[in-house]
Amino acid sequence: MKLAKKMLFLGLCLILAAGMVFAAGGKDGGGAAGAGSGKIKIYFIPKNLGNPYFVALSTGFEQAIQELGADKFEFIMTGPATPEATSQIEYVEAAVQNGAKAIFIAANSNDALNPTFDDARKKGVRIYIINQDIPGSEAHRDAAILPVNFATVGVSQLDLLGGYINFEGEFAILSATTDAPDQNFWVQSMKDELAKGSPKYAKMKLVEVVYGDDQPERSTTEMEALITKWPNLKGVIAPTTVGIAAAAKVVQTRGLGDKIKVTGLGLPSEMKEFIVDGTSPGFQLWDPPAEGYLGVYLVNAEVTQGFKPAPGASFSAGKLGTVKIESNGQILTLPTPKLFDKNNLQDFIY
């Protein structure tokens, strides 16, 4: 898919050019200057600032804004330094106070922000969950932009690691936070699949799930502890871009690449060295910038064309073509995760 490939190129290559995004650690992110200007003010609140994945995602917002007319929008990326369950509340409240028309948020909890979302929506602010959904709390948001069909991710990750360790041996999962809705869903999917008793996974044993809080230092510490605690460990699945890079670095540094295989969800730009030396035979991801790109076109359709994101309805999303609203107000950017390995990784790095 050439478009998805180009957008991923753009996002990954612009990670260090974050100056293009109006990003700041403050609650407003410098957005108050646009109040009353008549522009469509869009806020993006990631799980935490400084995460390369969300920087990549943010470039998609900028690309769509340039296509639709930079004079029509104001974009602010702001959020907490750490991804605690309630750390985003004050940023949502500040965005509402500063005239946000729409808030895109990668929520750190399934339900901790529900009252805050309700208050924002009562004031006419659209709440879009991005890069995930908030299972059980869907009534508290307007729509959810998912990077992929999440139902496919957990089992896909399990199969990927299984292929690298011949579907036998002990393995662990290094996740993000204990409250992260997306990672928790994938981890539970893996557990459920193992519990079915399929002969395919009969020789694979999940020994532990640990949480690195989507912080490099904590993820490194947790990975080191896994290696010490489980001397027969054969593989690790890290369904988080921060976690997989940290886990791979620990395995690489200790010279355990032949013994422990690391996979999960990663950024090509961060995983290249681990693919080259075999620490990670392969990993998966999707197209982060496409999520932000799609989001801007959704807001534009709602604000300027009166579009309502009801199940079955569709809207035009620029180069992504016509996009359909799935059941429960979800919007899929891609149907399934994409595999990155030595055969294609170089095509996504410049």
- Quote the pLDDT of residue 33: 33
Task: Provide the Cα torsion 173, 176, 180, 182; round to 10°.
Answer: -60
What distance in Å separates the CA atoms of residue 220 and residue 234, rounded to the nearest whole number? 17
What distance in Å separates the CA atoms of residue 204 and residue 211, rounded to the nearest whole number? 21
SS3 category, 236: strand
Token code pair at residue 15: 């990670």
Q: Which CATH class is domain 2-147+287-334?
A: alpha beta
Task: Provide the Cα torsion 190, 195, 196, 199; round to 10°.
Answer: 90
What distance in Å separates the CA atoms of residue 169 and residue 205, rounded to the nearest whole number? 6
User: 109-168 pLDDT, tens per residue?
Assistant: 999 999 999 999 999 999 999 999 999 999 999 999 999 988 899 999 999 999 999 999
SS3 category, 178: coil
Cα–Cα separations (whole angstroms), residue 253 to 67, 150, 164, 250: 44, 32, 20, 5
- Tokens 């609203």 correspond to what residue? 325
- All CATH 3.40.50.2300 domain ranges of the chain, comma separated, are 2-147+287-334, 150-285
Q: Which CATH class is domain 150-285?
A: alpha beta
- Quote the pLDDT of residue 138: 97
User: 294-315 pLDDT, tens per residue?
Assistant: 999 999 999 999 999 999 999 9
User: 252-299 pLDDT, tens per residue?
Assistant: 999 999 999 999 999 998 999 999 999 999 999 998 999 999 999 999
What distance in Å separates the CA atoms of residue 125 and residue 109, rounded to the nearest whole number? 20
pLDDT of 5 > 60? The answer is: no
Token code pair at residue 32: 């108050």
